[in-house]
Each structure stands twice: as C-alpha cells, then as structure tokens.
C-alpha cells in the first residue's frame, strides 16, 4: 500500500504574529522537525509540502524522501485539497500540521496501521484531563462527561480515495471544518483514534513558542 504524507505549512500565523512554520527552533525551521520525523518512517514513500505561494521557491528542504512542494489555499481545508490533487496512485494519506513539531513516528505508524486494518481514518488524540464545562454568557450550563472527551491532534490518517471524495463534496456543499476528520465524520465514515501526547501540542500563540523552545533545548538532536 502506497502512503503519502501531506505536511501543512501554508498558514499565515495570525495569532502568533508571523508565519510560525519558518521560525527557527534550535537552528532549524519548525516545519523541518516534522520532515525529519516523516523521513524516518519507512511506510511513507513521498511527502507533499504545502507552502504559502510566495515562499514556494525560497524555502529549502532537507529530505531523503521525494518532496513535492505545492502552494496552499486561504483556509487549511483548501491547502489540504490542493495537496490531494497532486497525489497519484496512493492508498493512504497522512496529514500533519507543521505547527506540531514534536509529533513522533509512533503516531504516524499507529494511524497507518489502523487504516490498513479496516478503519476509514485514524486521528491522533489524547484523553481530556481537565473537566470541561459549557459556559454561555458567563454562566456555567453543563459539565461534560470527561470519559467521552478527547483532544484531537495531527497526524490524521485516511484512505486516500475517501478523503478526496469528502473534500470534493465539501466544496460542493460549502462546508468548512477545522480538521479533515470532521468532513469524514460528517459524511458517515468510520474514524478511530491513535495515541497522541501532551508534547504534541500545536504552536498557536507566543506562549506556545516559549514552551517549544524549552522542549527543543532539553531534547537530543533529531
Ligand atoms: N495551514 C495551511 N494553510 C492554511 C492555514 C493553515 O497549511 N491556509 C497550516 C498551518 O501552516 C499549520 C496548520 O495548518 O501548520 C494548523 O493551522 P493553524 O495553527 O491555524 O496555523 P495558522 O493558520 O498559520 O495560524 P493562525 O490561524 O493563527 O493564522
Ligand atoms: Mg489557522
């Protein structure tokens, strides 16, 4: 089974104030961390790196595997869809946010194996540790059952044909989701979870960047 990885690095970084995928962490741009991890996974045969159009030629990548650079879209979903159009003859696709530099090989491998064993998709997740409540206009209205709550991360792994189908359908139906699993769930596909980590957090704000620097410094080189 041919597996393609899609690494998303076409965001604007509005909440952080700059394109976070290019910020250097211990001398290496953030997106390169995920590339290094994906490079170590034998199951993955090619990588589609999605970049902002204006950075496409400028950005240098280091990879043993074949990397195809493509330009992203306005929304994350559009960036994924652009990447899917470049995939030819793959059975499985693994999508990962470059804003999560500390994903580990196991997360990709478990996801791929879950899909190989019959699931339409597998998403990286951790069980909610905190109590989560719904609050409306300052008033607490409900305490959710923590046993059923998971915090969702990437990588997210899917059967390629089905993911392409839901993306095409979402364009027609005018539906936008914050992750790919949302579209798959919406159209009735069976998605499972694979084990994530607190360290696999998404760099969103300046605070997250401080945390990422601390983690990178305390870590052996990749
Ligand atoms: N992403 C992308 N194309 C977009 C938007 C996001 O490839 N049009 C990627 C980002 O580069 C990031 C991941 O999707 O790796 C998750 O998105 P997010 O954390 O929201 O990053 P940004 O969109 O860059 O940040 P912000 O929402 O604060 O502008
Ligand atoms: Mg965003």
Atom of ligand 1 nearest to the CA of 203: 19
Q: Enumerate the β-bridge partners of residue 189.
A: none
Domains, the chain, with CATH or none: 3-125+151-216 (3.90.550.10)
Decide if pLDDT at 7 tops 60: yes
Compute the C-alpha angle 73/78/79, nearest 5°: 65
- Region 160-169 average pLDDT: 96
pTM, 2 dp: 0.96
Q: Closest ligand to 20 CA? A: 1
- Per residue in 100-145, pLDDT (tens digit) is 999 999 999 999 999 999 999 999 999 999 999 999 999 999 999 9
Atom of ligand 1 nearest to the CA of 100: 15
- Region 81-89 average pLDDT: 95
In this structure, the residue with its CA closest to atom 7 of ligand 1 is 10
Decide if pLDDT at 221 tops 70: no
Residue 121 backbone dihedrals phi, psi, to 5 degrees: -160, 160
pLDDT of residue 220: 59
Nearest Cα to Cα of residue 4 among 41, 33, 44: 44
- Around ligand 1, the residues with Cβ closer than 6 Å are 8-15, 21, 50, 72-76, 79, 97-99, 202, 204
């Amino acid at each position: 089974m041919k597996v393609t990885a899609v690494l998303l690095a076409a965001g604007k970084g509005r909440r952080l104030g700059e394109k976070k995928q290019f910020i250097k962490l211990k001398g290496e741009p953030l997106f390169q961390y995920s590339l290094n991890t994906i490079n170590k996974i034998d199951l993955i045969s090619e990588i589609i790196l999605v970049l902002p159009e204006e950075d496409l030629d400028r950005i240098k990548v280091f990879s043993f595997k074949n990397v195809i650079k493509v330009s992203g879209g306005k929304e994350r979903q559009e960036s994924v869809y652009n990447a899917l159009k470049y995939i030819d003859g793959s059975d499985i696709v693994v999508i990962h946010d470059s804003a999560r530099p500390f994903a580990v090989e196991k997360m990709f491998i478990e996801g791929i194996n879950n899909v190989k064993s019959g699931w339409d998709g597998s998403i990286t997740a951790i069980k909610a540790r905190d109590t989560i409540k719904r609050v409306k206009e300052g008033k607490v209205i409900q305490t959710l059952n923590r046993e059923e709550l998971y915090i969702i991360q990437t990588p997210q792994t899917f059967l390629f044909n089905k993911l392409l189908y839901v993306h095409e359908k979402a364009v027609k139906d005018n539906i936008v989701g914050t992750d790919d699993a949302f579209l798959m769930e919406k159209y009735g596909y069976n998605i499972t979870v694979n084990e994530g980590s607190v360290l696999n957090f998404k760099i969103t704000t300046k605070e997250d960047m401080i945390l990422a620097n601390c983690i990178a410094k305390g870590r052996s080189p990749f």
